[in-house]
Chain A
Amino acid sequence: MPSLAPTSLFAQTRNPSAKANKVIYLYMSGGMSHMDTFDPKPGADEQGPVQAIDTNVDGIKISEYLPSLARQMDKMALVRSLSSTQGAHEQGQYFMHSSYTPRGTIQHPGLGAWMHRLDGRKNSTLPASVRIGGSSRGSGSGFLESKFAPLVINNPNDGLKNSKRRQGMSEKEFKDRLDLASAFDEEFHRRYNHKKVRAYTDMYEDAIRLMKSEDLKAFDLNKESKDVRDEYGDNSFGQGCLLARRLIENDVRFVEVSLGGWDTHNNNFDSVSRRAGDLDQAMATLISDLERRGLLEETLVVLATEFGRTPRINENDGRDHFPKAFSGVLAGGGIKGGQAYGVTDETSSNVLDQRVSVPDFNATIAHALGLPLDEVVYSPSKRPFTVAHKGRPVIDLLA
């Protein structure tokens, strides 16, 4: 007989006064070296040439590669005790984004899709979630309908491609064609009145609404001054962060921006210093830009990666995959800044205290957003799933 203590049936994990309602999710693709960024261990042999510098919070040091972020430390909460079970890129990325490990039988939705599904969209003309660069592993709509999938933008400088009417086509011609198309579809829709069929119609309607929307300007980085564009950094990640800010400002709820190239098996210190330079400039600017607009109160900025890298420096002067202990960052809406949560040992190899699993990390994000962690959503095959897969939110990280 199982001796389970009967749990409270209708536990209110919902947090109605959650402060954040939008997310900018910065994804460090390839596995960001935690020792060389947010969890340095000055003096350890494994540290290599990287120095640790003071931040604007007493007692917290981060890598010298991140000087601007060091000055924003009071707004950020470092999570130094992340621990994953997936040591390969594809599986790790999928796990980090969806909170579920990959299975053969189902695709799980990412956080953006969950947020849209559980809490709706805010701006009815712009998509609820947008992904700038990066891969779709675990960040798509999964088993949910395709309307919950993020809009993908590969190059932030191009904005939203193909969002204008074809040249020479008048408004009326366009409308006539749409009417014709829906006349063709009518019989099919009547006969197969299914969710998936309707989802296609929704998609077309969304696209047309977006084409006509004033908010389409949000995708156009040319509307920003040169100064602001340079402030974020003249690289794809920096411009992606700027685009993310513009979209968030126009009530898109979830924007993911990817920064690749962290898979530093060779020549770790050179590569990391370059990546970290881009990251430092873009993320620090993003935080201060959100702050001066008053958006940081309601926008949660997340920095995540699939795993850390081995403290041991390999023969190619690189570091290899290391899911056992690594770091992430939460900042802004709903987060208690100026803290480093979790402790690793003297070589950043083991979590000593306050281990945060990947579902816990995502549950913390979901909780800060006020998403119901216990709300079961059924897949079309009627299997039950929850956002963050039963992870427990880390209350100490929340404001």
Chain B
Amino acid sequence: MGDLMLLIGATSMVVKDSAALIEACLFLPLGVLLSVVIIEVFSGGRKGVDLDKAVVVLLVSGSALFFVGAFLTFSQASNLGQQIAAKAAGTGVLLGVLCAVAAMLKQQCYLQKLLAAARARTRRRNSGGGLWPVLYSMTLLVTVGGGVAVAWLRPDLQGLAAGNSTPESDLLVMEDDVDSDPAGQSPLSIGELAQDSTTTLEPFSTATLEPDVEEPERAIMEEPNEMEMAENDPVPTPDSVVSAEESTLEPDPRLESQPKSPPVAMVAKVDPGALTTFKGSIVPMLRDRCLDCHGEEKQKGGLRLDSPAWIRQGGNSGPVIIAFDPDKSYFYTSTVLPGDDPDIMPAKGKPLTSAQTSAIKRWIRGGAPMGDGRDQEVASAAVAARQAKFGRQGASAGELAGTVMEALKQAHIGFKPLDGGLYEIDCSLTRNYPEVKLDLSILDPIADKIHTLDLSKTKIKNAGLAPVAKLKNLRRLLLSRTTVGDDALIHVSGLMELEILNLYGTNVGNDGLEHLKGLSRLKKLYLWNSKATSAGGERLIKAIPKLEVNVGQ
């Protein structure tokens, strides 16, 4: 009875996971061998006695393992715990089953011998025991041989099992995805990709997009930091990818692939070499190590890896591949975790070899092409997304000329790209660097691209505001808590797009406000703690009816 319960409970745990079942089957010969050895130890090689004790030992150890497994499942709600649990439970069940089988064999064997002896007494002829002793000896031999063979062949057997269990995925075509495919062709399956060597990308350029230098291995603790990467990291960022793309017209693109020139274009091209890597290394690896859990039958974490469309889609927590950026791609990062990390992929079996992980890295750095016709589109989108981000963080900024960018940085002036190719320029922190003189003429090259100019708390003077007159598209000007006075607003009087003007805490008085009368789009004016009064504000509202003036009342 106990055996049966054990069997049902643990089998359900094991069968939940077909790979574990396969693995458990590999342990079967070992289990039988172990059982036989234990029985022989306890029965002391004697005939047909004391079997009960042996069986009890086997059952106890089996159930102990089962309970350890169950405990681990609940105490460690992670991948690792479940793996251990599945193995322990599987082993426990098998021990239970196998001891019963072995005991039966042995009992049968000796029973048969006794019967034969009895028969011999009557017939005076010894037939040698018949079939059962032979079966028992055969079992011993086969299990010893099988155990040794398994020890040697286990990795290969696993590969074989994985290959066998998902033969259909080779022919798999995702109907769901046909509509979303811009090229109108069905996405190719992994199998097709591996065989169909004609499905290559058009060679956009012969340039390798990355210098062929292996990146020095990072310390595991280190996560990539955007700013650091942009400044120190020799690995090509999308910026360098872009500059490489731009340089495809050059006679020798390789020489130009360092990120020297300012990034201009928004399109990056995938590396055709990466497609070769994909077909040569990634596809076989996917089939051997990934599809068991992320294939047609099972999609752990909602992730499926048996067609380019599924790979691009990613899992429950989003895309697993960010083209050109292996360190942001879970598909890569999860394979290079420490071996004992519960989140390492593949979750089962040995970690990938360093050759395999570096192939993944190379492939993603090259734009992660899969030859399904969407490579270029996806890669460009990835680079565009990255550029938008880098712009925000100040490492690069689309069309902002490199020289201006550098000058702004030197002057401790912040900038942030906004919609429509406009920028927000923030000078307020120059107050912390009194040694650097604030000179707004460095904005001249991008004068018509400035949306917001924040000069609050700076040491700007009336005369220093002269370059502001050129900022034709300025919408928002913050001069709060500066010493500017009436004359400063002369430079503002021609900014026809201006909507918000902050003069709180300045020396501007009612006379200065006269300069603003022509600014028909002005919506909001802050005058608290300035020398202007609400009367001055009222007069201005007569000229600009939509204006809202805040004098701090």
Known contacts A16-B419, A294-B502; A195 and B223 CB within 8 A of each other: yes
Q: Is B388 an interface residue (CB 8 A)?
A: yes
Structural contact, A382 and B417, CB atoms closer than 8 A: no
Structural contact, A9 and B504, CB atoms closer than 8 A: no
Structural contact, B337 and A16, CB atoms closer than 8 A: no
* B-side interface mostly: mixed
B553 to A, closest residue via Cβ = A292
Residues of A within 8 A of B (CB): 1-7, 9-10, 12, 14, 16-17, 105, 119-120, 122-125, 193-196, 213-215, 251, 291-294, 297, 370, 372, 374-376, 378, 380-384
How many Å from the CB of A249 to the closest CB on chain B?
8
Q: Given A10-B378, A292-B550, A382-B334, list of 20 further CB < 8 A pairs?
A: A3-B176, A4-B302, A7-B313, A9-B312, A9-B381, A10-B382, A16-B416, A120-B393, A120-B394, A124-B432, A195-B222, A213-B432, A292-B551, A293-B526, A294-B478, A376-B330, A381-B337, A382-B337, A382-B341, A382-B343
Structural contact, A124 and B478, CB atoms closer than 8 A: no
Which chain B positions have C-beta within 8 A of A5? 176
Structural contact, B180 and A6, CB atoms closer than 8 A: yes
How many Å from the CB of B92 to the closest CB on chain A?
27
Q: Give bound CA distance, A267 to B381, whole Å.
A: 58
Known contacts A10-B382, A124-B432, A374-B318; A293 and B528 CB within 8 A of each other: yes
Which chain A positions have C-beta within 8 A of B317? 376, 384
Which chain A positions have C-beta within 8 A of B428? 251
Which chain B positions have C-beta within 8 A of A105? 78
Q: Is B531 an interface residue (CB 8 A)?
A: no
Structural contact, A17 and B419, CB atoms closer than 8 A: yes
* A-side interface mostly: loop
Q: Give bound CA distance, A119 to B393, whole Å.
A: 7
Q: Is B255 an interface residue (CB 8 A)?
A: no
A380 to B, closest residue via Cβ = B221
Structural contact, B429 and A123, CB atoms closer than 8 A: yes
Structural contact, B319 and A9, CB atoms closer than 8 A: yes
Which chain A positions have C-beta within 8 A of B392? 16, 119, 370
Greatest chain B CB density within 10 A among A9, A14, A119, A194 is at A9
Structural contact, B333 and A12, CB atoms closer than 8 A: no
19 sample A-B contacts, Cβ–Cβ < 8 Å, listed by A number: A6-B180, A9-B314, A9-B319, A10-B378, A10-B384, A14-B389, A16-B388, A16-B417, A120-B393, A195-B221, A214-B432, A251-B428, A293-B480, A294-B526, A378-B333, A381-B343, A382-B333, A382-B343, A384-B317
Q: Give bound CA distance, A14 to B314, whole Å.
A: 20
A2 to B, closest residue via Cβ = B299
Structural contact, B222 and A6, CB atoms closer than 8 A: no
How many Å from the CB of A300 to the closest CB on chain B?
17
How many Å from the CB of B392 to the closest CB on chain A?
7
Which chain B positions have C-beta within 8 A of A291? 550
Structural contact, B418 and A17, CB atoms closer than 8 A: yes
Q: Is B500 an interface residue (CB 8 A)?
A: yes
Which chain B positions have C-beta within 8 A of A375? 389
